[in-house]
């Protein structure tokens, strides 16, 4: 009755979806860091796409997170931001998945180590070197702010270097979303030495806090320590609020001026605190030798390139971690169904992690001429004059009010009523909670 071509359904002829991921898809190689909620491993992918590629895998324990609603909200925010923000100087998320007891964030492996370790080794940086890193961080912060995201945890431990020596911001657990020009938030969070005064006094803050932290980081790069430190947390906060800023005499006038403008206690007078945001910072004379378009395109050579023997080289990481046995604890703590609802939507597969084949057309089509089916060309009528089609013995899809079918002698094809479209309901999980301070896990 029909002139059809049989097509075998294979991986090449059917559109694939994202692969199903689990811990079994990765081989643990080294420990890169530890924290209150879990560990960060260097891993190699052993199944699915990108077999053999090296990643950093951040493992978080659910039973620790669910003790604080704020910690759950921070973790979900980090996952959302990593999945949505793409920038040359922000770490890239490749995969995210979960098991009964754990959450897994699989990130690009930044084998150059963290800036904190390099500062410890070098003591202080030359102004040209500091200018390069500060310029790349400025572009990263400017991009986050353009998306309504305040970073709020800028410090050397959260700034990594890739294998080429370019910086990447990591650890987005303290980020706040939907903070655009004029909006404020009141969360007390961050690392004490890098907190802006408006966070310490809890009078509400916005994206200007990131420029204060960048000023603290600049001061530390050029002098070897943050500008406001003391023997305990309370005294450090007191210095942040009312301590005098002391600048070394060896700093150039441009460096001194920029540090002073970053560390203005009034956020409205702080450089970057106005509507211009990062553009105001970029125009400062300290960055007069920076070609911003070339820097964004990574066409500027970094001042330091890590000496790495292979993609698996972990020599730039602290040996306290890399010497540990890479063992992921057993996944034997199952949460209740209601507790697991807090982690809905956590799974993620990055756009570079899988590719789809060309979309195929549906073979359910009726015309007045025989059809030939090609999986890559869709349907085409065969050449030659149209032939009369014999009607079926009964209607294919009867409808209650459909007109009576034509007599058997008619050459007109029977009318087909398309099936009603399905209705789909999507459930969303909104998580609201009071602010609490979060334990940290650094990568």
CATH number at residue 65: 3.30.200.20
Q: What is the pLDDT of residue 180?
A: 81
Structure tokens at 107: 């990130």
Q: Are 438 and 173 in contact (CB under 8 A)?
A: yes
Q: What is the pLDDT of residue 328?
A: 87
Q: Are 87 and 140 in contact (CB under 8 A)?
A: yes
Structure tokens at 111: 């084998």
CA atoms within 13 A of residue 273's CA, in its CB half-sphere:
21
Q: Report the domain count for the chain.
A: 2
The catalytically annotated residue of 71, 114, 153, 162 is: 153
Long-range (24+ apart) CB contacts under 8 A made by 116-119 are: 116/155, 116/156, 116/157, 116/159, 117/316, 117/317, 117/318, 118/161, 118/304, 119/156, 119/220, 119/221, 119/224
Residues 193 and 300 in one domain: yes
Residues 78 and 35 in one domain: yes
Q: What is the pLDDT of residue 9?
A: 66
Residues 169 and 246 in one domain: yes
Has 122 been labeled as part of a binding site? no
Write out the DSSP string of 64-82. Answer: HHTT-HHHHHHHHHHHHHH
Q: What is the pLDDT of residue 440?
A: 43
Burial class from Cβ neighbours inside 10 Å (0-12, 13-18, 19+) for residue 93 reads: buried
Q: What is the pLDDT of residue 179?
A: 86
Residues 50 and 185 in one domain: no
Q: What is the pLDDT of residue 124?
A: 92
Structural domain boundaries enclosing 259: 115-307
Q: In which residue ranges of the chain is pLDDT below 70? A: 1-3, 5, 7-18, 352-443
Residues 177 and 303 in one domain: yes
Residues 192 and 249 in one domain: yes
Helix, coil or strand: residue 311: coil
Residues 175 and 70 in one domain: no
Q: What is the pLDDT of residue 185?
A: 87
Q: Is 153 a catalytic site residue?
A: yes
Tell me how far apart the alpha carbons of residues 428 and 426 are, in angstroms, rounded to a whole number: 7
Report the DSSP beta bridge partners of residue 373.
Answer: 379
């Amino acid at each position: 009755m029909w002139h059809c071509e049989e097509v075998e359904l294979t991986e090449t002829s059917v559109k694939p979806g994202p692969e199903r991921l689990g811990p079994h898809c990765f081989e643990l190689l080294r420990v890169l860091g530890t924290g209150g909620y879990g560990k960060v491993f260097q891993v190699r992918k052993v199944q699915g796409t990108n077999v053999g590629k090296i990643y950093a895998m951040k493992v978080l324990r659910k039973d620790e997170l669910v003790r604080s609603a704020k910690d759950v909200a921070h973790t979900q925010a980090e996952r959302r931001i990593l999945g949505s923000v793409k920038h040359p100087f922000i770490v890239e998320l490749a995969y995210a998945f979960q098991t009964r007891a754990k959450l897994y964030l699989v990130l690009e492996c930044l084998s150059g180590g963290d800036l904190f370790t390099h500062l410890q080794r070098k003591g202080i940086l030359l102004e040209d070197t500091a200018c390069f890193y500060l310029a790349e961080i400025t572009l990263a912060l400017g991009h986050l702010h353009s998306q309504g995201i305040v970073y709020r945890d800028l410090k050397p431990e959260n700034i990594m270097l890739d294998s080429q020596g370019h910086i990447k911001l990591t650890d987005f657990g303290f980020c706040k979303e939907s903070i655009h020009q004029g909006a404020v938030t009141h969360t007390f969070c961050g690392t004490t030495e890098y907190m802006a005064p408006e966070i310490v006094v809890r009078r509400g803050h916005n994206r200007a806090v990131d420029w204060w932290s960048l000023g603290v980081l600049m001061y530390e790069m050029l002098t070897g320590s943050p500008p406001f430190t003391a023997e305990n947390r309370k005294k450090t906060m007191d210095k942040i609020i009312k301590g005098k800023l002391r600048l070394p005499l060896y700093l150039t006038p441009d460096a001194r001026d920029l540090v002073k403008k970053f560390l203005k206690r009034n956020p409205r007078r702080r450089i970057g605190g106005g509507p211009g945001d990062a553009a105001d910072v970029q125009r400062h004379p300290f960055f007069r030798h920076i070609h911003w378009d070339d820097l964004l395109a990574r066409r500027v050579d970094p001042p330091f390139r890590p000496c790495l023997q292979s993609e698996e080289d972990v020599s730039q990481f602290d040996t306290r971690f890399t010497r540990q046995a890479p063992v992921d604890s057993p996944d034997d703590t199952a949460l209740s169904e209601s507790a697991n609802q807090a982690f809905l939507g956590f799974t993620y597969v990055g756009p570079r992690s899988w590719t789809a084949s060309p979309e195929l057309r549906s073979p359910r089509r009726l015309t007045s001429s025989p059809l030939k089916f090609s999986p890559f060309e869709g349907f085409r009528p065969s050449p030659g004059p149209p032939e009369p089609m014999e009607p079926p013995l009964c209607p294919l899809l009867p409808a209650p009010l459909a007109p009576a079918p034509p007599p058997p002698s008619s050459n007109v094809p029977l009318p087909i009523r398309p099936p009603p479209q399905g209705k789909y309901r999507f459930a969303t999980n909104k998580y609201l909670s009071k602010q609490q301070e979060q334990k940290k896990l650094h990568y």
